[in-house]
Chains A and B, each alone.
Chain A
Amino acid sequence: MRNVMTIAGKELRGFFASPMGWIVMGLFALLFGYFFLAHLDYFVTSSMQAQQGGGPVNVNQAMIRPLLQNVALINLFLLPMITMRAYAEEKRSGTIELLLTSPVTDTQIILGKFLGVLGFYAALLGVTMIYIGILFVFGNPEMRPVVTGYLGLLLMGGCFLAVGLFISSTTKNQVVAGAATFVTFLLLWIISWLGQSAGPTAARVLDYLSIVWHFDDFGKGVIDTKHVIYYLSFITFGLFLTLKSVDTERWRG
């Protein structure tokens, strides 16, 4: 466990020791801020309309939930930048030789790296909490859906990161890793589109495979074990593939 934390700490430090981590964080905050503003604007307009008649508007329903769902969109673009260097950079610079010849197991290295990128992603989410905090200061949203929403975001991001880690472990080239990760993320997102024309059973299967579909319930304040299990098994599978990829690489040399 200590080895895992050592490697995770090194990964995390790597983000903050280089401009790259701060840039990603800044861009993340910028995009989220824009979404926040747009949703706030829409929310203010609709609540004014509500005062002139029509039902009451719920800040959780009308604002926080779509806002958190938009994080999935930001993830799509920014998480490949977090994972693309994780292995590719170590392979290119030769530092992977240090890790693989140190008395640590491959599993420890991979878990460390995963926790490292997950930690950075959590820091990104932490930035967004400032915005949500503003809503709590000036409004009276319900706490529960916000907490479950963040939990869902963490799990969903974890899936993206696990897949990204795997892709990064297959190449020396950061650009290839980044592009392939982005395309994979996008496919995992839009996989449910086909379902509409493929019949009800196929639609349910494809929906089930779509990473984003599972987030819905979290946004509503519901923790369904079905979704938690989906996300956790997805993460495990991604990390398992990474392990196999690192192992294969060893044998091939």
Chain B
Amino acid sequence: MIEVQHLTKRYGPFTAVDDVSFRAERGEILGLLGPNGAGKTTTMRVLTGYMPATEGTATVAGYDVFTKPLEAKRKTGYLPETPPLYPDMTVREYLTFVAKLKLPATVSKTERVSRVNGVMAKTHIVDMANRHCSKLSKGYKQRVGLAQALIHEPEVLILDEPTAGLDPKQIIEVRDLIRSLAGDHTVVLSTHILPEVSQTCHRVVIINRGRVVAVDTPDNLTRQLKGSATLYVQVDAGGTDAAPALSALPGVRQVSELDRHEQMVGFEIAADMDRDIRRDVARLVVGSGWGLLELRPLRLSLEDIFLQLTTDESQTQPPMAGAPPDAGPASPFDGAQGDAADAASESEATPNA
């Protein structure tokens, strides 16, 4: 459905996208993942025909975006990073304008009106139909942007950071919406938020500095790069000196203390891949009377994979011992809030760091 081959985009001497190739099949959600400035937006702008590529080709729904731009654009819905709304128009006026622009001239007026109503229902903005675009909240603007992209029922949807700047509830709604679209549309979305990829996308293209560093399913990426099985165990104050005992268990490679408070201490235990040491650990902890507070496996998260892939050259990178592993949605790329939360819990957890 989408095929990108050897795509290169240079701005003067700066290469924003360097020999990028990937493809997306019908009905698939493909995630473009990468830090800010990696070339995601540029790739999408080439795909949507907003700008031509310096080298390489991009094909959408069988049409080359450069030689057959109108046909390709007719099959593409695009939500740019900032929803392209006209502040003076009401939502209904805006969507009607977009409908006139994107639907072929043969579509009748009644059909157009029903399309507008249809996308408004789909994106849950019917209540806002007569409100001016400038008066909408960020979440609603994003939804109107999505409605705009959907109005001509495109085969391909290209969404540039569709959840950026939304609150958690809105993020979940938008993700659900995107997932529900997958069957009928091929979706390419970009994000720098890792959990988003594992929750929404069928396949991931990881881009760094304009180059593709990995293409696979989120699960495969996780499996492939997992070197060892890791456990997290938290015990109460009685077990402050548990590290040597844990290290002595069969199959354990390494034990490191992750966090320590007055009432508890947490360890990360790395063990051989083929061995499940959970029972042994639990038995040891309980048998020693330490008080087991928590025991859970640590998966190598996409975050770690991402860091491994994008910081390959710099081996000097210090190990991420201080960071709480698998800390949920907060990621190093998660924007200010996540960063602040990370920093706070980090300093709290490891005063010696």
A7-B101, A105-B70 are contacts. A98–B89 as well, Cβ < 8 Å? no
Q: List residues of chain A with CB within 8 A of the CB of B87.
A: 93
Q: List residues of chain A with CB within 8 A of the CB of B42.
A: 253
Q: In the assembly, what is the distance between CA of A103 and CA of B73, in Å?
A: 5
CB distance from B54 to the nearest CB of A (A): 9
**Contact present for B9 and A253 (CB under 8 Å):** yes
**Contact present for B48 and A101 (CB under 8 Å):** yes
Q: In the assembly, what is the distance between CA of A252 and CA of B52, in Å?
A: 9
**Contact present for A95 and B84 (CB under 8 Å):** yes
Q: In the assembly, what is the distance between CA of A153 and CA of B117, in Å?
A: 43
Q: Does A3 contact B (CB under 8 A)?
A: yes
Q: Does A183 contact B (CB under 8 A)?
A: no
Q: Does A138 contact B (CB under 8 A)?
A: no
Closest to B89 in A: A17
**Contact present for B102 and A251 (CB under 8 Å):** no
Q: In the assembly, what is the distance between CA of A251 and CA of B12, in Å?
A: 10
Q: Please report the total number of B residues contacting A with Cβ < 8 Å.
A: 34
Closest to B98 in A: A98
Q: Does B49 contact A (CB under 8 A)?
A: yes
Q: In the assembly, what is the distance between CA of A149 and CA of B42, in Å?
A: 50
The digit string for B119-153, where 1 denotes a CB below 8 A from any CB of A, is 00000000000000000000000000000100000
The digit string for A3-22, where 1 denotes a CB below 8 A from any CB of B, is 10011001001100110000
The digit string for A88-109, where 1 denotes a CB below 8 A from any CB of B, is 0000011111111111110000
Number of A-B contacts (CB under 8 A): 76
**Contact present for A251 and B52 (CB under 8 Å):** yes
A3-B101, A100-B49, A253-B11 are contacts. A95–B76 as well, Cβ < 8 Å? no
Q: Does A2 contact B (CB under 8 A)?
A: yes
A14-B88, A93-B84, A94-B80 are contacts. A102–B101 as well, Cβ < 8 Å? yes
Q: List residues of chain A with CB within 8 A of the CB of B49.
A: 100-101
Q: Does A250 contact B (CB under 8 A)?
A: yes
Q: List residues of chain B with CB within 8 A of the CB of A101.
A: 48-50, 73, 76, 78
CB distance from A227 to the nearest CB of B (A): 36
Query: Max chain B CB contacts within 10 Å: which of A3, A7, A13, A253?
Result: A253
Closest to A5 in B: B100
Q: In the assembly, what is the distance between CA of A99 and CA of B73, in Å?
A: 11
**Contact present for B88 and A18 (CB under 8 Å):** yes
Q: List residues of chain B with CB within 8 A of the CB of A250.
A: 50-52
Q: In the assembly, what is the distance between CA of A101 and CA of B100, in Å?
A: 14
Q: In the assembly, what is the distance between CA of A95 and CA of B49, in Å?
A: 15
- Picked from A6, A100, A252, A253, the residue with its CB within 8 Å of the CB of B97 is A6
Q: List residues of chain B with CB within 8 A of the CB of A13.
A: 88-89, 93
Q: List residues of chain A with CB within 8 A of the CB of B74.
A: 103
The digit string for B34-69, where 1 denotes a CB below 8 A from any CB of A, is 000000001001001111100000000000000000
The digit string for A104-140, where 1 denotes a CB below 8 A from any CB of B, is 1100000000000000000000000000000000000
- Picked from B48, B51, B71, B86, the residue with its CB within 8 Å of the CB of A251 is B51
Q: In the assembly, what is the distance between CA of A252 and CA of B45, in Å?
A: 12
Closest to A16 in B: B88
**Contact present for A102 and B50 (CB under 8 Å):** no
Q: Does B336 contact A (CB under 8 A)?
A: no
Q: List residues of chain A with CB within 8 A of the CB of B84.
A: 93-98
Q: Contact residues of A with B, CB < 8 Å? A: 2-3, 6-7, 10, 13-14, 17-18, 93-105, 250-253
Q: A13-B93, A14-B86, A96-B84 are known contacts; what are 14 more A-B pairs with Cβ within 8 Å?
A: A2-B105, A6-B100, A17-B88, A18-B88, A93-B82, A93-B84, A97-B48, A97-B84, A98-B148, A103-B70, A250-B50, A251-B52, A252-B11, A253-B9
7 closest Cβ pairs, A-B complex: A98-B84, A17-B88, A103-B73, A95-B84, A101-B48, A6-B100, A97-B80
